[in-house]
């Protein structure tokens, strides 16, 4: 089966755009990442959850509507993470390299887990959709 290139380009573009939007709309919270108390940890966890949620929703949507290429959501992870990592590297002032590495790892792990669970959820939704189509087809055949 041939891949649907326009659809793949649309998902790559959406992933890149969402990665940029997360940085643009949340860059005011980066100074809170540098706090050594529970607020810094909370902000770091929230960033991980944001990337988890974005990756989950895009992966679930992609898998629900495809017949092959189920690993494609993993390819989208760099398009989520790299824009934020690049802009954070050049615009934010992390006091130590370990802080920036922790931040990059957190958003990467969040996006990876989101893709994993998005694939699982998308396959479940896809199976339900296929079953509904079969039931409708059988019901339509019985009426004729």
1-34 as b/e, with b when 16 or more CB fall inside 10 Å?
eeeeeeebeebeebbbebbbebbeeeeeebeebe
**Residue 38 CB contacts under 8 Å (≥ 6 apart), including other chains:** none
The answer to whether 23 touches 83, Cβ cutoff 8 Å, is yes
Mean pLDDT by 10 residues, the chain (144 residues): 77 89 84 82 90 92 81 89 84 74 90 93 90 88 76
Total domains in the chain come to 1
Q: Structural domain of residue 61, as residue ranges?
A: 5-143
pLDDT at 37: 85
- Separation CA 9–CA 83 (nearest Å): 17
| Residue appearing with tokens 């940085």 | 23
5-26 vs 72-91: helix crossing angle, rounded to 10 = 30
pLDDT at 144: 67
- Separation CA 51–CA 56 (nearest Å): 8
pLDDT at 112: 94
Tokens representing 12?
A: 């790559």
Long-range contacts made by residues 29-32, C-beta under 8 angstroms, separation at least 24?
Answer: 30/88, 30/92
Tokens representing 121?
A: 């959820």
């Amino acid at each position: 089966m041939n891949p649907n290139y326009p659809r793949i380009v649309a998902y790559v573009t959406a992933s890149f755009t969402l990665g940029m939007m997360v940085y643009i709309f949340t860059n005011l919270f980066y100074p809170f990442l540098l706090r050594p108390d529970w607020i810094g940890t909370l902000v770091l966890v929230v960033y991980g959850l944001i990337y988890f949620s974005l990756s989950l929703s895009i992966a679930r949507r992609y898998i629900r509507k495809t017949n092959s290429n189920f690993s494609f959501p993993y390819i989208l992870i760099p398009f989520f993470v790299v824009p934020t990592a690049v802009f954070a590297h050049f615009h934010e002032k992390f006091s130590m390299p370990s802080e920036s590495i922790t931040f990059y790892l957190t958003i990467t792990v969040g996006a990876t887990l989101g893709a994993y669970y998005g694939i699982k959820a998308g396959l479940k939704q896809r199976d339900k959709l296929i079953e509904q189509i079969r039931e409708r087809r059988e019901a339509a055949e019985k009426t004729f």
